Chain A
C-alpha cells in the first residue's frame, strides 16, 4: 500500500471513530424530537451532526456516506415533511452500518445504499450533494477545544517516563550535597505535579460509555413488550479511560436484565398502581476515591422465596438458613456461577442470566458488585469501581526480611494472629519460602476477601501503604500467584500478591 493510501486509511479510521460519537448525538437528538417535535435545539443539534458528518465523509472520499447524510439533512431541514421517527431512525441505522463498514475494512467506500429505500418515503431528494456541502466541517466548539485526544498507549509511556525520572531523581538523591537539596526538592514537587496531571488526563466523563443507551432501552423495551424510559444521572462523573469499554458492556447487561426481568408489562404495572411506563435509572457518582455506577429499575423486584429455594437446591446454603438470611446476603447468591440458568430460574426469580459474568467483569476492574431489591418496588445493582485504574493502592506487608504488596481492594483489615478462628489461612512465609523472624503468636493476620470468600494472610506485620502502577513481571519470571510488581520511590521492586490465586 502506498503512503497516500496509508494516510487515507488512517484518516478514514479516525473518521469512523469520531463519527460513532456523532451518530450517538444524532440518535439522542432524534429521540428528543420524538418527545417534542417542536424542540428546536434538538433539531439544530441533529442538523449540525448531519452536516459535520457529511463534510467529514466527503473529506475522506466516502461519497455514498456523504450523500446519505445529505439526504437525511434535507428531510430534516423541512419540518413540514418530517417523516415518522421510526423512519428517521432507520436512516440513522443505515449511516451507522456504513460507518461500521468503514471501520471494518478501512480503505473502500461501501456499496451505495439507496436512501429512498431506506427512508421508505418517496419524494426525498437524493441528488448528489452540492460541492459546498462537502466543505470541511465547521470549527469545533469551545467544549471540544478544552479537550484533547490521546491514546492510552501514549499516556502510559508518559507515565513510564515520569517513573524513570523518579528513579533518576532517587539515584541523584543518594549523593547528598547541601547545594543540591533545594533543587532536589523542587524537582520532586514538579515530578509529583506531572504525575498527577497525567493521571488526570486518563480520566474521562463516564457519559462516553453511556452513549446511545436511551435508544437501546427504547428498542429493547419495545421488543420485550414493556415500556420504559432511561434516566441518566451524574454522567459528568469521571472514570479511568481503560474502564470505559468494560463499564459500557456491564451496564448494557444490567439494562437488559432490568428490562427483561424487572419492568412489568404495562397492564401489570397499572394493576399494581404504578405508571404504565417503567423507569430505569442509570446513575454515576464519585464516592470516596472510587466511582459508583448504579442501575435501578422500578419493576417487580426480586422474589425472596424463589431465590432462597434455588440457593438451597444448589446447596449454597441450608433451606432454613436461606429463609431467615438478610436480603443482601441472599442476593449475593444470584451472582454465583450457575445460579440463574437460562430458561429455568431467570423469569421466576426475576433476574437474568449472567449476573455471574457481571460480577466477574466488575472484579476484573477491581471493583465490587452489590444488589439491593424490594419486592414490588424494584431492583438496584451497584458497581463500585476504583477511579484510577492505572494506580493501585497496596498494603505493604513484612514477611521475614522481605516486603510484599497486597492490593488494598482485597484487604478488609489486619488483626493479631489468633484473634480470628475458622478462616482459611495462607501462611505467607511458607508460601513464599521466607523464614519468619518473629514468633507465630506475634504475627499479623491480614483479612482479605476474594471471590471464594474470606481468606487470611499470615504475615509478620503491616509495614506501610503505597500507591503505584502495578507492572507486569518479565516473561521469564511469571508466577501464578503474583499480579506483578511495583517499584517503590527508592527504586526497590516489591512483588504484588494475587489474593485470588494464593
Chain B
C-alpha cells in the first residue's frame, strides 16, 4: 500500500510519497548562502553530504517558514538529495486517505521547474 507523508506549509497541507522521503530532520542551524539562486535558502549537512535547503513558499503561494525553525524533509529532486523546508510534518497516511484530509500531492520536479 502506498504511503504519503503529509506536511504543512503556511496554511495548506501537502503530501509526498513516503518512499521518496529519506529522513525528517528537526530544526537546526542552516548555513546561509550569499547571493543564493531562487528557492535556495541555505545549506545543511546530511549523511556527509551538503544539501541545499529549498523553500517553496514563493512557488506555492504562501510564506516560507523561518529558516532556522523549519522542519526539513530530505527528499530528491533532479537526481540530487535536497532538504525541503516545511512548517511541520503532520502524519503518515495511506495515499487513499490523503484526499479526505484535504492535502494535495506535491509534484516536486514540476514546482521546482516553475511549471
Which residues of A are at the interface with B, using a C-beta cutoff of 8 A? 159-161, 163-164, 167, 402, 431-434, 471-477, 479, 484-485, 487, 491-495
Q: Would B80 and A493 count as touching, CB distance under 8 A? A: no
Collect the chain A residues with CB atoms within 8 Å of residue B81's CB.
Answer: 474
A263 to B47, CA, bound (A): 54
Q: Does B91 contact A (CB under 8 A)?
A: no
A273 to B15, CA, bound (A): 85
**Further contacts, 20 of them, CB under 8 A, given A164-B48, A471-B49:** A160-B47, A160-B49, A163-B48, A164-B47, A167-B47, A472-B50, A473-B43, A474-B51, A474-B52, A474-B81, A474-B82, A476-B37, A476-B54, A477-B40, A479-B34, A485-B43, A485-B50, A491-B28, A493-B31, A493-B44
- Number of B residues contacting the other chain (C-beta, 8 Å)? 25
- Interchain nearest-CB distance for A19 vs B (Å): 36
Q: Would B51 and A494 count as touching, CB distance under 8 A? A: no
Task: Tell me which of B28, B50, B80 contacts A487 (CB under 8 A).
Answer: B50
In the complex, the chain B residue whose C-beta lies closest to that of A478 is B37
Q: Would A476 and B82 count as touching, CB distance under 8 A? A: yes
A402 to B31, CA, bound (A): 8
Collect the chain A residues with CB atoms within 8 Å of residue B35's CB.
Answer: 433, 479
- Interchain nearest-CB distance for A62 vs B (Å): 39
Q: Does B90 contact A (CB under 8 A)?
A: no
A434 to B31, CA, bound (A): 13
Q: Does B29 contact A (CB under 8 A)?
A: yes
Collect the chain A residues with CB atoms within 8 Å of residue B45's CB.
Answer: 167, 487, 491-493
Q: A164-B48, A475-B80 are in contact. Are A485 and B37 (CB under 8 A)?
A: no
- Interchain nearest-CB distance for B19 vs A (Å): 21
A14 to B36, CA, bound (A): 45
A410 to B84, CA, bound (A): 35
Collect the chain A residues with CB atoms within 8 Å of residue B52's CB.
Answer: 474, 476-477
In the complex, the chain B residue whose C-beta lies closest to that of A428 is B34
Task: Tell me which of A159, A472, A476, A492 contacts B40 (CB under 8 A).
Answer: A476
6 contacts between A and B (CB under 8 A): A164-B48, A434-B34, A476-B37, A476-B52, A477-B50, A493-B50
Collect the chain B residues with CB atoms within 8 Å of residue A493's CB.
Answer: 31, 43-45, 50
Q: Does B32 contact A (CB under 8 A)?
A: yes
Collect the chain B residues with CB atoms within 8 Å of residue A487's CB.
Answer: 45, 48, 50
Collect the chain A residues with CB atoms within 8 Å of residue B80's CB.
Answer: 474-476
Q: Does B33 contact A (CB under 8 A)?
A: yes
Collect the chain A residues with CB atoms within 8 Å of residue B40's CB.
Answer: 476-477
Q: Would B49 and A477 count as touching, CB distance under 8 A? A: no
Q: Would A495 and B31 count as touching, CB distance under 8 A? A: yes
Q: A492-B31, A493-B44, A494-B31 are in contact. Are A473 and B50 (CB under 8 A)?
A: yes
In the complex, the chain B residue whose C-beta lies closest to that of A469 is B48
Q: A164-B48, A167-B48, A476-B52 are in contact. Are A432 and B34 (CB under 8 A)?
A: yes
A471 to B29, CA, bound (A): 18
Contact pattern, B 44-80, Cβ under 8 Å of A = 1, otherwise 0 = 1101111110100000000000000000000000101
Task: Tell me which of B34, B48, B78 contacts A161 (CB under 8 A).
Answer: B48
Q: A160-B47, A164-B48, A167-B45 are in contact. Are A477 and B33 (CB under 8 A)?
A: yes
Collect the chain A residues with CB atoms within 8 Å of residue B47's CB.
Answer: 160, 164, 167
A160 to B36, CA, bound (A): 26
Collect the chain B residues with CB atoms within 8 Å of residue A484's CB.
Answer: 50
Q: A487-B45, A493-B43, A493-B44 are in contact. Are A477 and B36 (CB under 8 A)?
A: yes
In the complex, the chain A residue whose C-beta lies closest to that of B33 is A477
Contact pattern, B 17-36, Cβ under 8 Å of A = 1, otherwise 0 = 00000000000110111111
Q: A167-B48, A485-B43 are in contact. Are A433 and B34 (CB under 8 A)?
A: yes
A107 to B115, CA, bound (A): 47
A491 to B49, CA, bound (A): 11
- Interchain nearest-CB distance for B79 vs A (Å): 9
A164 to B81, CA, bound (A): 15
Task: Tell me which of B28, B34, B50, B82 contacts A471 (CB under 8 A).
Answer: B50
